[in-house]
């Protein structure tokens, strides 16, 4: 018969996906409907890169390295504006089923999504003819990968010293059985009737990326967007704090080195 | 894509025109160009459609194959979208040049048809494509070919995909009990895994099996060639993608190639016939202010109603003509 599947082996999973993800307004992991997972953000994790960031949102772990601005590796047309190239890769152990070699269509879509989210925020005129290469590695895909990758990539760009108009923050919203869940995990988004990801420049309230799937009515969409914008506002303070901490730590380290050099 | 050149003067002319609600061809901001639909021109395909939206020309062919369902949705069929950018349309599509655009279009189509966890939530109820739950199903390959680029490719491709799926005649399949050819034994199945298929009695003195099992024969499929017995898909719930762009702060729909060069931000919104939003993607470089984004989605819902009526009246006319030709 025609139509063979790519994987000839049968996948084996330790546990089945739960059928009910929400009961009496409380989610499986004990969060309320509008609560984020535990968020951890840190910059300066890759020594070779111009800028880097590591973001952990519950079980979603993303590492981003930015190299540039530098000469483009590929032959591209002359442009008076700089370019941001994004490459997203899911590690083969990141998802439930082992990933394939090379870049899958999902990864290409994630790359395009993160690129769109970052382009509006960066001052591309500040590095003409050069390109900033952003490499995103998803170590564990626990839900909301596009949002986490966009936030981490924005922090990495800031860490690399590329001029940004504003920091990009992104979050996802899922609609399960009529309830809107902020920052869903994979189990929750597997059961969704609709989902959306919003990337925002918080100060000017500008949408840099909006991706939705599933059927939304006009009013549901408005509510979902408002919840996402509220979530982005929460994330913004965490992102700014992370950058401030990085600057303070770097200044302290410099002072220490100077003292040691004098002593 | 080979970027056509546009001068600053032309950009300003088009932007000023849009602010006066007039475009180069006399349309208003929310008007579509003329939509022409042709069904069933490809004899070898299960279903086909050609859509011309102004100068943009797209052909979509649907091929039905028997395949294996998704592990997550065992009683649903599958629809796989593919888009090909032909070098006929632009020299930039030579070799792998059109890959990025084609994967973008294909993923946008797939996302607008997102079926939800049950498989029934999307534009087409995938459960009608199932043959044997968990083992076999129809896989519809929807392949689009871009012939001429006149701007607004996404809308034309999604309208053509909807028309082609409405035209598709999936043959009727009957699962019949497998015959045992010349005493050749088919595969054995362990208890707890029995799916559809027939099984004869368990006892077999020669087998010497240590554990109880059911002997299952591979089911046979009888495909009915009769076109009047074929299953038509209900594509009425399928969404059409509308691209709403911002030119000078105003929302414009159905852009030509020149107008696309003047716009810095766009939203692609897939809307179904009842006005529900089935998929949104933001395109191009500039950011969009949040309230303006909601306005663009509302413009898309209004414009989609126009396009849906134009498409369904065209489809009804064509299908009526086909009936008359056959009967």
**What is the DSSP code string of B67-104?**
E---SS-TT--EEEEEEEE-TTT-GGGTTTTTHHHHHH
Six-digit token string for B268: 């692609």
For B80, nearest residue in chain A (alpha carbons): A3
Nearest to A116 among B67, B283, B290 (CB): B283
The structure tokens listed for A225 are 């967007």
A96 close contact with B: CB closer than 8 A: no
Q: Chain A to chain B, count of Cβ pairs less than 8 Å apart? A: 108
B186 vs B176, B198, B219, B278, CA distance in Å? 15, 12, 10, 45
* Inter-chain CB proximity A3 and B290 less than 8 Å: no
Question: What are the b/e assignments for B193-224, b being 16+ CB within 10 Å?
Answer: eeeebeeeeeeeeeeeeeeebbbbbebeeeee
Cα–Cα distance for residue pair A44/A23, rounded to 1 Å: 40
Task: Compute the C-alpha angle A152/A157/A160, nearest 5°.
Answer: 125
**Tally of residues, chain A:** 263
Tokens of A210: 């909006």
Task: Specify the CATH number of the domain A26-262.
Answer: 3.30.230.70
Q: String of b and e for B146-173 (b: at least 16 CB within 10 Å)?
A: beebbbbbbbbbbbbbbbbbbbbbbbeb
Residues of B in contact with A191 (CB under 8 A): 117
Least CB–CB distance from A211: residue in B275, B280, B298 = B280
Task: Give the largest Cα separation in chain B, rounded.
Answer: 91
**Tokens for B87?**
């070098």
| CA distances to B45, B56, B57, B90 from B86, in Å | 19, 13, 11, 7
Residue A88 contacts B where some CB pair is shorter than 8 Å? no
Q: Does B277 contact A210 at a Cβ distance shorter than 8 Å?
A: no
Burial class (CB in 10 A: 0-12, 13-18, 19+), A103: middle
Least Cα separation, residue A40 to chain B (angstroms): 27
User: Mean pLDDT, chain B, as a whole number?
Assistant: 82
Provide ipTM, 2 decimals: 0.83
CA distance A41 to A190: 26
The alpha-carbon gap from A111 to the nearest alpha carbon of chain B, in Å, equals: 11
- CA-CA distance, B244 to B159, in Å (whole number)? 15
End-to-end Cα separation, chain B, in angstroms: 46
The domain spans of chain A are 26-262
> Per the CB < 8 Å rule, is A218 touching B298?
yes
Checking if the pLDDT of B215 tops 90, the result is no
Q: What is the pLDDT along chain A (263 residues), one digit of tens a residue?
A: 344 455 556 666 666 677 777 777 788 888 888 999 999 999 999 999 999 999 999 999 999 999 989 988 777 777 888 899 999 999 988 887 776 666 687 888 899 999 999 999 999 999 988 999 999 999 999 889 999 999 999 999 999 999 999 999 999 999 988 889 999 998 888 888 889 999 999 999 999 999 998 889 889 999 999 999 999 999 999 999 999 999 999 999 999 999 999 87
Question: What is the dihedral sign for C-alpha B149, B152, B153, B157?
Answer: negative
Residues A105 and A112 sit within 8 Å (Cβ to Cβ): no
- B255's tokens: 């852009």
Going by their DSSP bridges, the two strands B78-85 and B130-132 should be labelled as unpaired
Q: Let me know how many helices (H) and strands (E) chain A has, helices first.
A: 4, 11
Q: Are A38 and A127 in contact (CB under 8 A)?
A: no
**Which position has the higher pLDDT, B5 or B200?**
B5
Distance from CA of B241 to the nearest CA of A (A): 12
pLDDT of residue B217: 62
Q: Six-digit token pair at B47?
A: 């279903």
Q: What are A47-95's pLDDT values in tens digits?
A: 999 999 999 999 999 999 999 899 887 777 778 888 999 999 999 888 8
Q: B78-85 and B136-148 as β-strands: parallel, antiparallel, unpaired?
A: parallel
The three-point CA angle A165-A120-A224 to 5° equals 105
Q: Which residues pair with B215 in a beta bridge?
A: B188
Tokens 């059911």 locate to B214
Mean predicted confidence (pLDDT) in B207-231: 64
Determine how many CB atoms are found less than 10 A away from the CB of residue B302: 14
- Chain A residue with CA closest to B114: the answer is A214
Residues B53 and B159: their CA atoms lie apart, in Å, by 9
A253 touches chain B (CB under 8 A): no
Q: What angle do CA A24, B118, B143 make, to 5 degrees?
A: 140
Cα A226 to Cα A175, A193, A221, B31, distances in angstroms = 13, 18, 9, 30
A131 touches chain B (CB under 8 A): no
Judge: A206–B283 Cβ closer than 8 Å, yes or no: no
Residue B175 near residue B220 (C-beta atoms within 8 A) = yes
Set of chain B residues whose Cβ sits within 8 Å of the Cβ of A214: 114, 116, 121, 278-279
CB contact under 8 A, A109 and B66: no
**pLDDT tens-digit series, residues B98-122:** 888 888 899 888 888 887 777 666 7
Inter-chain CB proximity A207 and B287 less than 8 Å: yes
The shortest CB-CB distance from B277 to any of A207, A211, A221 is to A221
pLDDT of B16 above 90: yes
């Amino acid at each position: 018969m025609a139509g063979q599947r790519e994987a000839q082996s049968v996948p084996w999973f330790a546990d089945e996906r739960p059928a009910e993800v929400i009961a009496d307004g409380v989610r499986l992991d004990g969060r309320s409907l509008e609560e984020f997972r535990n968020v951890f953000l840190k910059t300066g994790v890759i020594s070779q890169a111009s800028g880097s960031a590591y973001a952990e949102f519950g079980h979603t772990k993303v590492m981003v390295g930015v190299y540039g601005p530098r000469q483009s590796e590929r032959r591209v047309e002359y442009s008076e504006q700089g370019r941001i190239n994004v490459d997203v890769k899911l590690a083969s152990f990141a998802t439930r089923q082992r990933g394939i070699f090379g870049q899958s269509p999902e990864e290409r879509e994630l790359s395009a999504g993160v690129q769109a989210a970052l382009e509006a925020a960066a001052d591309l005129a500040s590095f003409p003819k050069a390109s900033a290469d952003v490499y995103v590695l998803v170590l564990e895909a626990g839900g909301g990968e596009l949002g986490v990758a966009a936030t981490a990539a924005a922090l990495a760009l800031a860490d690399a010293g590329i001029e940004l108009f504003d920091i990009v923050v992104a979050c996802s919203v899922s609609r399960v059985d009529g309830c809107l869940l902020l920052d869903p995990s994979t189990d929750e988004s597997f059961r969704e009737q609709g989902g959306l990801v919003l990337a925002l420049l918080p100060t000017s309230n500008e949408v840099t990326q909006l991706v939705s799937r599933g059927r939304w009515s006009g009013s549901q969409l408005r509510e979902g967007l408002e919840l996402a914008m509220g979530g982005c506002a929460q994330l913004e303070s965490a992102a700014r704090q992370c950058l401030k901490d990085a600057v303070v730590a770097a200044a302290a380290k410099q002072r220490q080195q100077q003292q040691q050099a004098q002593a | 894509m080979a970027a056509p050149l546009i001068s600053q003067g032309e950009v300003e002319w088009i932007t000023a025109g849009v602010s006066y609600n007039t475009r180069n061809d006399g349309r208003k901001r929310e008007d579509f160009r003329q939509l022409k639909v042709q069904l069933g021109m490809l004899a070898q395909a299960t279903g086909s459609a050609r859509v011309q939206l102004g100068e943009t020309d797209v052909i979509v062919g649907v091929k039905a194959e028997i395949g294996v369902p998704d592990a997550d949705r065992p009683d649903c069929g599958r629809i796989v979208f593919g888009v090909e950018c032909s070098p006929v349309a632009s020299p930039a599509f030579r070799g792998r040049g059109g890959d990025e655009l084609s994967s973008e279009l294909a993923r946008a189509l797939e996302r607008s048809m997102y079926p939800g966890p049950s498989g029934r939530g999307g534009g087409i109820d995938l459960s009608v494509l199932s043959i044997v739950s968990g083992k076999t199903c129809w896989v519809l390959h929807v392949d689009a070919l871009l012939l001429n680029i006149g701007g607004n490719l996404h809308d034309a491709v999604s309208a053509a995909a909807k028309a082609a799926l409405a035209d598709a005649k999936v043959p009727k399949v009957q699962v019949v009990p497998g015959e045992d050819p010349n005493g050749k034994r088919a595969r054995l199945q362990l208890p707890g895994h029995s799916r559809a298929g027939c099984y004869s009695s368990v006892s077999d003195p020669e087998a010497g099996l240590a554990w109880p099992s059911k002997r299952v024969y591979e089911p046979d499929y009888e495909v009915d060639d009769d076109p009047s017995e074929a299953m038509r898909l209900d594509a009425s719930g399928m969404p059409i993608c509308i691209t709403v762009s911002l030119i000078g702060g105003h929302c414009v729909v159905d852009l030509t190639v020149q107008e696309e060069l003047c716009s810095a931000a766009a939203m692609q919104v897939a809307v179904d016939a009842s006005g529900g939003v089935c998929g949104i993607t933001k395109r191009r470089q500039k950011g969009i202010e949040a309230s303006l984004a909601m306005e663009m989605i509302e413009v898309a819902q209004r414009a989609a109603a126009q396009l849906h009526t134009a498409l369904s009246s065209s489809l009804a006319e064509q299908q009526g003509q086909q009936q008359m030709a056959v009967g």
